[in-house]
């Protein structure tokens, strides 16, 4: 009975202290997506364009709606391919004006990227935030996989 009680107390500690979630992990405080394929993919390192299309507007976070891109790093070794996606960022296209006085105003810096780790990592603890674990991590994973599938698809140019 004591072992069961200790196990039930230990499970929430493991759940809330995650630094690895599916293909995502936290490396030096940044969120990195990494997957190894057991085949050689014909793909090169490049900048990715990530768009959250087809997601419900009301239940999707603003950060995911403004998702823009990331860096893809490709490594080949012994007939295998490792894909690493890092520097995942979103750009808020809207700007807001704050009125300080009737004459002066200050605007936010639009087109400034915000990175995934700024939104989804608890800085002091270096673990994923709850909203990433519950929903946004899966959505972001699906978006990345969709883009990689588009890059690796065989293009039939013989028409």
How confident is the model over 33-42, as pLDDT tens digits? Answer: 999 999 999 9
State residue 141's pLDDT score. 94
Is 16's pLDDT higher than 80? no
* pLDDT tens profile 112-142: 888 999 999 987 778 999 989 998 999 999 9
Domain ranges of the chain: 21-152
Please give the average per-residue pLDDT across 68-76, as a whole number.
95
Tell me the C-alpha distance between 132 and 36, whole Å.
Answer: 22
Which residue has 């890092």 as its token pair?
A: 86
Distances (CA, A) of 49 to 70, 104, 150: 7, 37, 11
> What dihedral do alpha carbons 119, 124, 125, 131 form, nearest 10°?
-20
Q: Given pLDDT bands bounded at 50, 70 and 90, which one contains residue 152?
A: confident
**Straight-line distance from the first to the last Cα atom of the chain, in angstroms, rounded to the nearest whole number:** 69
Using alpha carbons, select from 126, 153, 151 the residue that is nearest to residue 69.
151
State residue 35's pLDDT score. 95
Distances (CA, A) of 53 to 57, 91, 143: 10, 15, 8
Q: Given pLDDT bands bounded at 50, 70 and 90, which one contains residue 158?
A: low
As a CATH number, domain 21-152 is 3.30.530
Cβ atoms 66, 154 nearer than 8 A: no
Residues in the chain: 159
Please give the average per-residue pLDDT across 57-72, as a whole number.
88
Cβ atoms 56, 72 nearer than 8 A: no
Tell me the C-alpha distance between 153 and 39, whole Å.
Answer: 14
Is 107's pLDDT higher than 70? no
State residue 92's pLDDT score. 80
Is 47's pLDDT higher than 90? yes
């Amino acid at each position: 009975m004591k072992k069961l009680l200790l196990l039930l107390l230990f499970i929430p500690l493991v759940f809330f202290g995650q630094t690895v979630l599916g293909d995502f992990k936290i490396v030096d405080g940044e969120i990195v997506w990494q997957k190894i394929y057991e085949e050689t993919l014909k793909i090169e390192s490049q900048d990715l364009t990530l768009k959250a299309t087809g997601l419900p507007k009301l239940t999707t976070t603003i950060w995911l709606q403004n998702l823009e891109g990331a860096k893809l790093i490709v490594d080949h070794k012994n007939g295998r391919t490792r894909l690493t996606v890092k520097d995942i960022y979103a750009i808020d296209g809207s700007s807001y004006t704050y009125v300080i006085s009737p004459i002066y105003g200050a605007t936010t810096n639009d087109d400034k990227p915000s990175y995934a780790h700024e939104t989804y990592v608890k800085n002091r603890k270096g673990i994923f935030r709850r909203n990433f674990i519950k929903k946004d991590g899966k959505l972001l994973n699906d978006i990345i996989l969709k883009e990689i599938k588009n890059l690796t698809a065989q293009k039939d140019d013989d028409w």
